[in-house]
Structure 1
Amino acid sequence: MIFGSHVSIKDGYLGAAKQAASLNAGAFQYFPKNPRSLSVKSFDKEDANMCKEYCTEKGIVSVAHTPYPTTLTPADDKKKEQVIDSLLSDLEIAEACGSLGVVVHFGKNIFRDDPLASYRLMLEILNYVLSQWEGNCKILLENMAGKPGTMGTTLEELVQLRKLCDYPEKIGYCLDTCHAFASGLWNGDNWKQLLHKGVELGYFEHLVVFHLNNSKYDTGSGKDRHANIFNAGYIKEEQFSQVMESSLIENIPFILETPKEKVSHEKEIQQLQKRWG
């Protein structure tokens, strides 16, 4: 199994990779730029290339995560333009770092009278961005943590959006365990059924990364509140075991986005490797 965590780029992209190595991680996630802004600035390409070379040498894989303000359903034209420019910048940086893809949250319904309009807006943005993108790095659509039935909480939506896009080969998936639990997609006891459905839909053949998070609230709550993996949330160890023991996902990296106040990511990675490594 490949375990890692989100790390900071305060010491640059190479510094992020070295931080992951110091945690004995086989993978890491990072924000390619300021996580609280869509502003596009030049980046240190030499540093990014050294990150790529270091990861290749150490056998570490990485993924980028778009800044918090990123949304595939922007409310106006100005925000739409910012999101498009930011996504292209994220893809360029992630490609330079040798990353597998850039994680993007599925959109939200922003049109009361026409729910399908939000899906059309997502397709418009994805098609425009990917028509400009020629690299190997992919957009990785992440499932949402909303109440059951809200937008972005089903495998069917994720698969259909990819199929309808003009460039499906440039899109993959990120499965967040807390989000899946919060939305009721995975209730902790239906992994076999979820796996079967995912295979049937073709979801798992395009799954690139897991966000490995426990949940502070019970399944179906719709609340996105992460907890540490062991003895800290509503998802039990034996329920995580069902996921870990699935042969279909044995080469997919698991990235921690868990709280570090009580258990450091270094310690949690050690726990994961001891239990499932």
Structure 2
Amino acid sequence: MLTIGCHLSSSKGFEAMGKTALEIGANTFQFFTRNPRGSKAKDIDPADAEALNRLMAEQGFGKILAHAPYTLNACSKDEKTREFAWMTIADDLARMEYTPGNLYNFHPGSHVGQGPERGIELISAMLNDVLAPEQTTTVLLETMAGKGSEVGSRFEELRAIIDRVELSDRLGVCLDTCHVYDAGYDIVEDLDGVLERFDKIVGIGRLKAVHINDSKNPFASHKDRHEKIGDGSLGFDAFQRIINHPQLRELPFYLETPNELDGYAREIKMLREAYGE
């Protein structure tokens, strides 16, 4: 069965997200741990978290994916900005244990002129500081589009971060289809070749999730503007190949397209119909 969901608001709590996912035909979902443009995190109600855990077990959900705020930059030039990112991610990982065994995704960050190597060094140092042997959450580095000084648009950069992290068994990768296409990996015409390259550099076993998004911009544009499935430069046929690819089809897919719930429901239905059982 295709494991697919979308980004849901966490404002009404954990169980409400699970019920909303079911209403739109999803069997997983993504959510922000806190305000995506800020720092405030809503207090967790343990009973609400446990209600979601029960619902997911009863309904056969795939792993849910928590997303760190966009504002975090673990490789900033500014020490206070780095410290804020470290403290926020550490707090998020502690909160994730209310829904154990799931996924936490973050944008590696921007080196802002320090150079990719320095960025990689700072990101890996942060991960060495916050990862713990007892945690049940797998932390995912997201593939990026390569805007400005972003770290993580090349598979080699992701590998370099992983190699510097002591608890690397707690790390994985979330492949974003818009981002990798905008970064110059041609998943439309050469999906097999891109995955072969990922496997050679990072290891296909590190791939734990897929952000499934079309792109408003052309190949290798380094822009990062998501589009609805089939309405962008990747096109629907590419997504049919992606969700059915032997190395991807068992992974959870998370829509981040510019939609409201009814639009997500249409995309989920469309992709389920294209998925070969």
TM over 0.5: yes
Q: Deviations over 1:44-97 (max 9, x none)?
A: 222112212211111113110001212221332222222112112222222312
Instruction: Give RMSD over aligned pairs.
Output: 2.1
Q: Which runs of 5+ in 1 are unaligned?
A: none
2:125 corresponds in structure 1 to: 124
Cα contact 2:106–2:140 (8 A) shared by 1: yes
Indicate which of 64, 69, 72 corresponds to 1:70: 72
2:248 corresponds in structure 1 to: 249
CA shift, 1:139, in A, is 1.1
CA shift, 1:261, in A, is 5.7
Question: What is the aligned length?
Answer: 274
Say yes or no: does 1:195 pair with 2:195.
yes
- 1:1-277 alignment runs, 5 A limit: 1-39=2-40, 42-61=43-62, 62-98=64-100, 100-112=102-114, 114-131=115-132, 134-146=134-146, 151-186=151-186, 188-230=188-230, 232-260=231-259, 264-276=263-275
Secondary structure at the counterpart of residue 140 of structure 2? strand
Q: Which runs of 5+ in 2 are unaligned?
A: none
Cα contact 2:9–2:17 (8 A) shared by 1: yes
Cα contact 2:178–2:226 (8 A) shared by 1: yes
Percent identical pairs in the alignment equals: 30
Q: Which amino acid aligns with 1:183?
A: A
Counterpart CA distance in 1 for 2:236 and 2:3 is 17
Q: Which amino acid aligns with 2:7?
A: H
Secondary structure at the counterpart of residue 34 of structure 1? coil
Cα contact 1:217–1:234 (8 A) shared by 2: yes
Cα contact 1:148–1:184 (8 A) shared by 2: no
Q: Deviations over 1:157-186 (max 9, x none)?
A: 212211221110111110000001111123
CA shift, 1:123, in A, is 1.2
Q: Which amino acid aligns with 2:139?
A: I
Counterpart CA distance in 2 for 1:7 and 1:136 is 22
After TM superposition, the structure 1 stretch with the greater mean CA deviation from structure 2, 74-83 or 191-200, is 74-83
TM-score (norm 1): 0.91
After TM superposition, the structure 1 stretch with the greater mean CA deviation from structure 2, 187-196 or 13-22, is 187-196
Runs of 4+ residues deviating >6 angstroms:
none
After TM superposition, the structure 1 stretch with the greater mean CA deviation from structure 2, 202-211 or 69-78, is 69-78
Q: For residues 240 and 9 of structure 1, do their structure 2 counterparts lie closer, same or farther at Cα, with a shift above 3 Å needed?
A: same
CA shift, 1:150, in A, is 6.1
TM-score (norm 2): 0.91
